[in-house]
Structure 1
Amino acid sequence: MQTNIIVLAAQRPGTIDPLAIGHDVSHKCLIPIAGEPLIAHVLETLSKHPAVGDICISIEAQAFPDIDVVLAQLDGDTGRIRCVPSTYNLADSVIAALAQMDDGPVIITTADNALLTADAIEAMVQILKGDTDVALALAPKAAVLKAHPDGQRRFYKFSDDQYSNCNLYGLSGHDALTAAEIFRGGGQFAKKAGRIIDSFGLINLLLLRSGWISLPAAMARISKRIGLTITPVVLADGRNAIDVDNDRSYRIVADLLGQTAT
């Protein structure tokens, strides 16, 4: 069974990303970087992986024509790639995209994840073949800093190491949809203690913030709390944790993409 993909490319309702404004495009995913629109780098990596099935781009319907232009310029078979209308929050956008796919494992990533590697996809595909409900990709701090010393400034501290989120998530199938509720209401989840307490419990929150618990132990506690098995996938390539968030990270990703091309 192949693994389907959801690429989150929509903007927060009522906002236009500063990078999009600076590059005179409607969406951040369309800004040019290393000779191609940002989302093109993500789609090319995904579409070339043999384990990937359908690819759904979750974006506002008015942006569909712009995405069609991007698809027309991609190499290879783009017949498996299609747009689905996004909604007002991440959870419902994921659910709307899943409704357009056959049941089975799904990987969720973002359109600004231009340094996504084939090895990262493969690691997620393999873990979703096991007993896990939810997979979460992370990169150790040393690996991220090795990729670029200023590539990422936010790390989550555990007793075994510090990690950065790679904007790469996996669901074993539609039965794991309840995990999407964690993201309801949009981003910045990690900064909103009330939502973490509701989902993970106060004790788990304190342990996570204290750094007194290892990454595997933390995921085991959270799994027990929400009734889903969450498995961390630690990626050795720190590039996977560096996405395009602002002018600084745009320059870093452009530089790393240039190095890859050469």
Structure 2
Amino acid sequence: MTVEPSFTALVLAGQRPGRDALADAAGVSHRCLVPTGGVPMLGRVVDALNRSACVDGITVSVESPAVLESIVAFVTREGHARPGAVATADSPSQSVLRALKTLQAPPPYLITTADHALLTPDLVERFCALALETGAAVVTGVTSASTIQAAYPDAKRTYLNLRGGSYSGCNLYAVMDPDGLRVVDFWGRVEQERKRPWRMAWALGPLMLARYLLGRLSLDDAARHISKLTGVTCAAVVLPVAEAAIDVDKPADLTLVEGILRQRSGAPV
């Protein structure tokens, strides 16, 4: 699938403060370097982006460019270019803002995370095509709970329970034009209140919170509300692929991902 225009990809690979149990157990410095199917997760993500027809250029947001050294041989095979690097900031949203303001390439931008070990070129291309179809400045990908549970009934995911269905985020985002940076900046301000939920809810608006608690908020309603708050058109697209919503946050996720990768390779599970 060829998608025009081409996207510049940003991979968030920063390490959270404190010790990381997954990284410690694997004997690596960063969670993004934890092996999945024998390959560091970051390597799998960059490889999927490299092989996507809609991606032209990849930058990794990480504390030190040295983190990339362990994946260079893998991701530059078949003539693919080494990804660029930009230093992380104090939070994911600030890291995104710093990186997008640093990049020389114009939008659209595709943003994902280094723990998205099941990312594939087909999934990347599908999301980018759907993002373009929306006509919105900022797009996020989600997958329905029914899709995930049908494929992996034991998978533990976090869901937003909305009118019309429950959804899990896919760690796939698109910023389609410069105005989209205002949404990233807005989320950064909301993110600062994450330890004070009532202030976070107030920033999003008490009406939106009330509708959510009463089960009256739909996916489209939420996108329209964020659009109104920021003055920037936002949209959510539903990806009918269970693996789109599976990242590696805890040991159970790693076990699940390893099993899926073995199935893909045809090896015994």
Q: TM-score, normalised by structure 1?
A: 0.90
Match of 2:202 among 197, 202, 205: 197
Equivalences for 1:1-262 in 2 at 5 Å?
A: 1-12=5-16, 14-61=17-64, 64-74=65-75, 75-79=77-81, 81-98=83-100, 99-130=102-133, 131-181=135-185, 182-183=187-188, 192-198=197-203, 200-262=204-266
Q: Tell me the distance in 2 between the aligned counterparts of 1:116 and 1:34.
A: 13
- For structure 2, list consecutive stretches of 5 or more residues without a partner in the other structure: none
Q: Tell me the distance in 2 between the aligned counterparts of 1:222 and 1:202.
A: 13
- Classify 1:190/1:227 alpha carbon distance in 2 versus 1 (closer, same or farther; 3 Å): farther
SS at match of 2:9: strand
- For structure 1, list consecutive stretches of 5 or more residues without a partner in the other structure: none
How far did residue 188 of structure 1 move?
Answer: 9.5
How far did residue 140 of structure 1 move?
Answer: 0.5
Count of residue pairs the alignment pairs up = 258
AA partner of residue 235 (structure 2):
T
How far did residue 228 of structure 1 move?
Answer: 1.5
AA partner of residue 206 (structure 2):
L
CA contact (8 A) 1:183 1:189 kept: no
Q: Tell me the distance in 1 between the aligned counterparts of 2:19 and 2:59.
A: 22
Q: Tell me the distance in 1 between the aligned counterparts of 2:32 and 2:58.
A: 16
How far did residue 126 of structure 1 move?
Answer: 2.1
| Residues 225-252 of structure 1: CA deviation (Å, up to 9, x unaligned) | 2211111110000111011001111100
CA contact (8 A) 1:139 1:164 kept: yes
AA partner of residue 20 (structure 1):
A
Percent identity, aligned pairs only? 30
Using the TM superposition, name which of 138-147 and 180-189 deviates more.
Answer: 180-189
SS at match of 2:179: helix
CA contact (8 A) 1:9 1:111 kept: yes
Q: Tell me the distance in 2 between the aligned counterparts of 1:107 and 1:6.
A: 6
CA contact (8 A) 1:90 1:184 kept: no
Q: Tell me the distance in 1 between the aligned counterparts of 2:163 and 2:67.
A: 45
SS at match of 1:250: helix
How far did residue 80 of structure 1 move?
Answer: 5.5
- Classify 1:129/1:80 alpha carbon distance in 2 versus 1 (closer, same or farther; 3 Å): farther
- Classify 1:9/1:203 alpha carbon distance in 2 versus 1 (closer, same or farther; 3 Å): same
SS at match of 1:129: helix
CA contact (8 A) 1:54 1:80 kept: no
CA contact (8 A) 2:131 2:237 kept: no
AA partner of residue 58 (structure 1):
S
Using the TM superposition, name which of 220-229 and 185-194 deviates more.
Answer: 185-194
* RMSD, matched Cα: 2.1
Q: TM-score, normalised by structure 2?
A: 0.88
- Classify 1:106/1:155 alpha carbon distance in 2 versus 1 (closer, same or farther; 3 Å): same
Q: Tell me the distance in 1 between the aligned counterparts of 2:189 and 2:61.
A: 15
